Amino acid sequence: MDNFFKDRTILVTGGAGSFGKVIVRRLLQHAPRVVRIYSRDESKHFEMRHELGDRPDVRFLVGDIRDRERLLRAMEDVEIVYHAAGLKHVVSCEYNPFEAVKTNVIGTQNVIDAAMEVRARKVIFTSTDKAVDPCNTMGASKLLAEKLVTAANQYRGSRPTIFATVRFGNVLGSRGSVVPHFMRQLRAQRKITVTDPDMTRYVMSEAHAVDLVLKATELARGGEIFILKMPAVRIGDLAQVMVEDYAAANGLPVDGIQTEIIGAQPGEKPFEGLMTSRERFRALELPDMFVVKPPTTDLIDADYDYPGARPAAVIRYTSNDEDLLTTDEIRGMLRDAGLTAAGVTSEPQYDNVLA
């Protein structure tokens, strides 16, 4: 992997966001020539600049993926693009649907066009499980973005750019995700709000998510969707663990902490999927992930041959069909991710809340 990224010029859209920052930090470990952090939020740039320090291999570029001309200038000489910018909050997108379209759909097409123009080597789009059989605007916009990314491989002509998608579930600890959200509620009010305790969701740590993204960059032939194998949790069990651990860490009785059921929010599903029953016919399986080949492989000049791959053995890949993590396993997962009751100190923004 060091050789793959060494001396590369890389751009990360949404690079100052919580997940984008993790990608940037990991990339910097592999000696790229420069990582360009493209984001419209100058305050996040300011904070990240102080976190990383003054270094010659990082550039901060203020810009919006809705602005095609700005993207073109930002991508000059770029070889690898990670497209992590987007609107990700289900409820926000439900109430502002065309804003989701302008960012998640038109913005993605702008990234595609700019990458082709500069003849970038690879573009990796980060998608979500909500794009699978979507019932909300955010998921539908991400699904259309996935299709744009796949289709770009069909009309790139002589350009060398390879486009692929990475699809994963909820990233624990990311800005607005459920664990910091619960912690803030517990610390402020000694209560938590749960939409529906029987909802199930796929979860993964930031480290595992980035592992998938970087591995997909090396494997991508064109048009694939890479899906990490990840565990699923019941929201009520996750809330129980958070309450128990917070109570234990603060010497409080568990029954002194209230759990309020507030009902499903607009656009929410009782469970999520990572692969449809139709996609499974095109899916290959690796030890740690699935690779869904594009439906139009005859139009893409690529060899989808991955070492150790075999036809996928799953029928569906949905969180309600999984063996859910036990409360002890959830506790261990949070501990491994550095998200224990005593360790979570972030003040989250509410733009990507799980459940």
Q: What positions carry a catalytic annotation?
A: 130
Residue 337 sits at the vertex; the CA angle it makes with 336 and 339, to the nearest 5 degrees, is 105
The single-letter code of the amino acid at 1 is: M
| 3-state class (DSSP) for residue 256 | helix
Length reported for the chain: 355
Any alpha helices (H) in the chain, and if so which ranges? 2-5, 18-28, 42-52, 68-74, 90-95, 97-100, 107-118, 137-152, 178-189, 206-219, 235-250, 327-336
With tokens 């909300």, the residue in question is 136
Tokens of 268: 């929410």
Chain-centroid distance of CA 299 in Å reads 28
Alpha-carbon span 189 to 75, nearest angstrom: 46
Spatial CA neighbour of 222 closest among 166, 164, 167, 279: 164
| Beta partners for residue 122, in sequence order | 80, 162
